[in-house]
Chains A and B, each alone.
Chain A
Amino acid sequence: MSKIVIVGGGVAAYRALHRILELDPLCDVTLISDEDRPAYERPMLSKELLTSDKPLRSLGVRGSFPNLTQLFSTRATKVDRRQKRVLLDDGCEISYEKLILATGSRPRRLEVDNPTSERLHYLRTAVDAEKLRPFLCPGNRIAIIGGGFIGLEVAASARALGAEAVVLEAQPRLLARVAPESLSTWLHDLHKKNGVDIKLGAQVDQIAEDPSTGGMIVRTASGEIPADAVLVGIGVLPNVELAVDCGLDVDGGIAVDIHGRTSDPYILAAGEATRYPLERLGLLTRSECWTTSSDQGTIVGEAALGSLGDGYREMPWVWSDQYEASIQYLGLPLTASRMVTHPGESQNAWVDIAWDDAGRFLGAIGINSGRQISELRRALRKGLPIPAKFGLETQATL
């Protein structure tokens, strides 16, 4: 019997738990989560959970496992590597033989936020989504600070529900941190067509409550935006503090190998808090990516039981659904020096394909092009060249 402790309650933690229980149903395993329920499909929070009556899809454990303990609404506060134990916020201690850190990320806070207001929202957990949802209704206006994926998905959800949406982005274009201009421009047009008011270069100076209306006011250099609610979506920060405090190697994320092994042989890590190697591309990266967290979780579950398979060899792959559009983001296209746009298989479909000067395929962005992205993902994972059908004689410099 092996005593495994998992810190975290998201998809990486639960995929690890599922794999451990699949391989060893009698395993003595304890999961510690600061959320109030088992993991769920977090991508639903900004989309289906806001716009439909579909229940949140759970990733919880099905079946009975005699040596499984799940501690919810509980925070791990310290890892004592010498004595191999985890300290909890309720004062308890849990010893481990193998520890899995799947601590995920948290929303980056706006410096000028107004944390006492019930109308100011961040969106990371099911509880956050449940609080936000009632504000997305006809007649209401929501101000969204941050023109990234979360902000734009909530804007699309707000419009689907008949609410007004204003997006305030500090950069000169949407998704400036992660997207090429082609995607920024396309998304800008998509949201404009759907009635979203987009304000670029809008640095927020203050978020205040408006006592005359009971609503909120967002103040920028170019004016005031009244809103019934404010959503802040300006990125996430990896939860690496436990790892830093106990002296693990951390460099922008908990340093792991393709099996999720950290610098301590008794500690593994998976998911958004990790910085991991993409061996095919010769790069280290940290991903904010549901599929990566899911796959890495399964791998560290195996590794915690001493089974090392092929390790993580997939590529980061993010999807975003906005209105009727499917946006897919594969690999690391922004590290490329060259990118070309290939027409998709239907109207309103296209694929940007990216590679470097050495001819290495590095990633792609697809709009309504799931089939092509599937094919490109296989090529990227296997280290193959870009499939010939994409005809790259029309190369263009990024």
Chain B
Amino acid sequence: MTVMEETWIDACGVADIPDGGMHHFKHNENWVVIYHVDGDFFATDNICPHAFALFSDGWLEDGLIECPLHGALFDIRTGEVKRGPAECAVNTFKTKVDGDRVLCAV
């Protein structure tokens, strides 16, 4: 069994994402979006697992991100599907705040 080591990368500044906002970036093969909700930061893949669309173009409300293309709804904390058409969860990534920076484990 291979255990992938987490790599913490500096994703953005805390001040870069207003509350309720998103910031997206690409790191190697990962397209990642970071969400700011009430002072907490969460991260998922930025590409919807249902069809190609970016969550960073979607609607974030009540801790749920809605895909802009077909309306699939996901919990940004767990990645769980809350409403189809998607059938599988979206990947999530750990985040942490270090000073005024948001770090993300990819």
Contact = CB atoms under 8 A, between A and B. Distances in A.
Interface stretch (B10-18, B33-41, B54-62, B91-99): B54-62
A343 to B, nearest CB: 16
B68 A370 contact: yes
Interface in B51-106: 51, 53, 57-59, 61, 66-71, 84-85, 87
A36 interface: no
B51 A48 contact: yes
Given A326-B68, A370-B69, A374-B66, A57 B87 contact: yes
A378 interface: yes
A317 B71 contact: yes
A291 to B, nearest CB: 7
Contact of B58 (A41, A294, A317, A374): A374
Nearest to A47: B51
Interface in A36-65: 41, 43, 48, 57, 59
Nearest to B53: A370
A321 B69 contact: yes
Interface in A313-334: 317, 319, 321, 326
A370 B85 contact: no
Contacts of A373: 68
A375 B71 contact: no
A371 interface: yes
B69 A294 contact: no
A370 B51 CA distance: 14
B61 A378 contact: yes
Given A291-B71, A317-B71, A319-B70, A370 B57 contact: yes
Interface SS, A side: helix
B69 A326 contact: yes
Interface residues of A, number: 18
Nearest to B84: A294
A291 B57 CA distance: 20
B69 A371 contact: no
A44 B53 CA distance: 15
Contact of A370 (B58, B61, B87): B58
B68 A374 contact: yes
A41 B70 CA distance: 12
Contacts of B51: 48, 321
B71 A374 contact: yes
A373 B58 CA distance: 10
Nearest to B61: A378
A48 B52 CA distance: 11
User: Which one of A317, A370, A373 has the highest number of Cβ atoms from chain B below 10 Å of its Cβ?
Assistant: A370
A32 B70 CA distance: 28
Given A48-B51, A57-B87, A294-B84, A371 B70 contact: no
Contacts of B53: 326, 370
A290 to B, nearest CB: 8
Nearest to B67: A370
User: Which one of A43, A326, A374 has the highest number of Cβ atoms from chain B below 10 Å of its Cβ?
Assistant: A374
B90 to A, nearest CB: 16
Contacts of A290: 85
A234 B95 CA distance: 51
A335 to B, nearest CB: 22
Nearest to B70: A319
Contact of B68 (A43, A294, A371): A371
Contacts of B58: 370-371, 374
B68 to A, nearest CB: 2
B54 to A, nearest CB: 10
A378 B51 CA distance: 22
Contacts of B84: 294
B99 to A, nearest CB: 31
28 contacts: A41-B85, A43-B70, A43-B85, A57-B85, A57-B87, A59-B87, A290-B85, A294-B84, A294-B85, A317-B71, A319-B70, A321-B51, A321-B69, A326-B53, A326-B68, A326-B69, A370-B53, A370-B57, A370-B59, A370-B67, A370-B69, A371-B57, A371-B59, A371-B68, A373-B68, A374-B68, A375-B59, A378-B59
Interface of A: 41, 43, 48, 57, 59, 290-291, 294, 317, 319, 321, 326, 370-371, 373-375, 378
3 tightest A-B contacts by CB?
A370-B68, A374-B59, A374-B66
Given A43-B70, A373-B68, 6 more contacts: A291-B71, A319-B70, A321-B69, A326-B68, A370-B53, A374-B68
